[in-house]
Amino acid sequence: MSHIVQFAILAGIALLAATVAGVTGFGGAAILLPVLVLVFGTREAIPILTVVQLVGNGSRVWFNRQSINLAVLKWFSLGGVPAAVVGAMIFAKAPLHMLTRFLGVFLILLVLWRHTKHAPVRMTLRRFAALGATASFLSALVGSVGPLMAPFFLAYGLTKTAYIGTEALTTVIMHATKLVVYGQNSLLSAKP
C-alpha cells in the first residue's frame, strides 16, 4: 500500500476517533490504537497515541475550562504522576512481545468489563489518588484508559462540561508525564 493511501486511511480513522471522543469524552483511543499498532507496531504506537490524546484532550480542556474541578485534578495527579512515570519506564524497557500480549489481553478485558453490570461506586476525593495511580500506570502501558475512568468521574457527580473538562485535564497531565519519560528513553523524538 502506498504511503499516501496509508496516510489517508490513518487520517480518516483519526478523524472518526476524534469525533467519537469529542462527543463522548472518551473512546477515541480505542478506535485509533489498533490501526496505529498495525501501521507502526506496538512500541511506536503507544507514544504516537499519547501525542494524539494529549492534543485531543487539550482541546476538551480548553472548551470546558470554566467547569474543571480542581480538587479532583489535585487528588488524581497525586497518584497519577508517579504511576505514569513508573508505567512509562516499564513500557520503555519491557520486551516487545510482552507488551503486545498485555495490550491484547487488556483490550479484551476492557470490552468484557464495559459489557458487565457494575455495582455503583462511591467516589470520594481521596479515592481519585488511587484511580490516578491505576489509570496512569495502565495508560503508560496500553496508551489510554478513558473508558475505565469514566464511571468513577461520573460516580463522583461530575456531569456534562465538568466531567469532560476535568477528565480531560487529568488525562493531559497523565499523558504529558508519559511523554517526558518516553522522550528520555528515545521512544519519541522530534526528528523524522
What value does the mean pLDDT take over residues 108-125?
76
Band of residue 180 on the pLDDT scale cut at 50, 70, 90: very high
* pLDDT higher than threshold 80 for residue 185: yes
Lowest mean pLDDT, pick from 5-9, 11-15, 74-78, 108-112? 108-112
Residue 136 or 14, more confident: 136
Band of residue 118 on the pLDDT scale cut at 50, 70, 90: low
Tens digits of residue pLDDT in 131-152: 999 999 999 988 878 778 888 8
Sequence-distant contacts of 3-12: CB under 8 A, at least 24 apart: 6/39, 9/35, 10/35, 10/36, 10/39
Band of residue 11 on the pLDDT scale cut at 50, 70, 90: confident
Q: What is the residue extent of each domain of the chain?
A: 3-184
Crossing angle of helices 146-156 and 160-184, in 10° steps, is: 140
Question: SS3 string of the chain?
Answer: CCHHHHHHHHHHHHHHHHHHHHHHCCCHHHHHHHHHHHHHCHHHHHHHHHHHHHHHHHHHHHHCHHHCCHHHHHHHHHHHHHHHHHHHHHHHHCCHHHHHHHHHHHHHHHHHHHCCCCCCCCCCCCHHHHHHHHHHHHHHHHCCCHHHHHHHHHHHCCCHHHHHHHHHHHHHHHHHHHHHHHHHCCCCCCCC
Global pTM value: 0.84
Residue 91 or 148, more confident: 91
Residue 115 or 49, more confident: 49
* pLDDT higher than threshold 60 for residue 192: no
Lowest mean pLDDT, pick from 23-32, 36-45, 169-178? 23-32
